[in-house]
Amino acid sequence: MALDTIPTLLKVKLQDRDPDWEVQFLTALCHERVSLVQDQPVQGPDSWPYMMIRTGGEEPMLNLVRWASTRGIGFVVNPDQAMPDYVLSYGMVWNCRERGEFLTPAPEKTSELIIRDGEQLFAGPPSTTYLPEDVRQVLRDFLRRQRVQAPRVLMLSRDEKDWDLAFSIESLNSPPATEHAGIAEAMSWFLPAHYSVALVSERVVPGFVAL
């Protein structure tokens, strides 16, 4: 598919919008001019806050990206129809600010992070490049509303290539194992799509640091 403009891409039927379409649309959207449907975020069906925007406006998308990236807000693109053209999570928004793209390619992860007894892992605190301070603040504010007062995190890897951002189970008030997948999914909304999230006990891996 040749690189097309937003108006051309939006003519493609929903059922024909494949991964190539997605890459082209998101690449073009970074440099699109848009307009706000309203000036306050709206809670989406998934309970996250979104600004509603239309393509073909006067405001540079990158200006809105910079604004939303400090506030924990995503975007719904062209919401005035049965199915919006795209929904951008907060993690996609600040990824665009930091890396110039809503989706960053990542090598396919070889396996889920399952830590075995005695296994040696590479570990260290997340850098401010990986997790900027304003993003940390957004995450801290969200977790504080969930009554998590002092979240702790650690980067973990088996091979120094595939990394997981691990959250300390104990710092999240030790939720039952049945809730771990849902918590990881919630955290993923705040992070770029190529990031991987895990919940790990500090009894298994020491060295967690404050978020």
From CA 165, how far away is CA 187, in angstroms rounded?
10
The span from the first CA to the last CA of the chain, in angstroms, equals 42
What was the pLDDT predicted at 108? 62
pLDDT in tens, 96-154: 999 999 999 876 655 555 565 556 788 999 999 999 999 999 999 999 999 999 999 99
∠ Cα 176 181 182 (to 5°)? 90
Look over the chain and give the mean of its residue pLDDT values, rounded to a whole number.
Answer: 91
Per the DSSP assignment, residues forming a β-bridge with 154 are 166
126 and 153 in contact (C-beta within 8 Å)? Answer: yes
Tokens of 91: 């993690």
What was the pLDDT predicted at 105? 86
Tokens of 192: 């770029």
pLDDT in tens, 148-171: 999 999 999 888 888 899 999 999
Determine the residue type at 208: F
From CA 123, how far away is CA 6, in angstroms rounded?
42
Tokens of 30: 């970074």
Stronger pLDDT, 105 or 69, i.e. the higher one? 69
Residue 17: exposed, middle, or buried by beta-carbon count in 10 A (0-12, 13-18, 19+)? middle
From CA 76, how far away is CA 42, in angstroms rounded?
10
From CA 142, how far away is CA 188, in angstroms rounded?
13
Residue 194 has pLDDT above 70, yes or no: yes
- Map out the domains of the chain as residue ranges: 6-99, 122-210
Tokens of 55: 């393509």
What pTM did the predictor assign?
Answer: 0.91
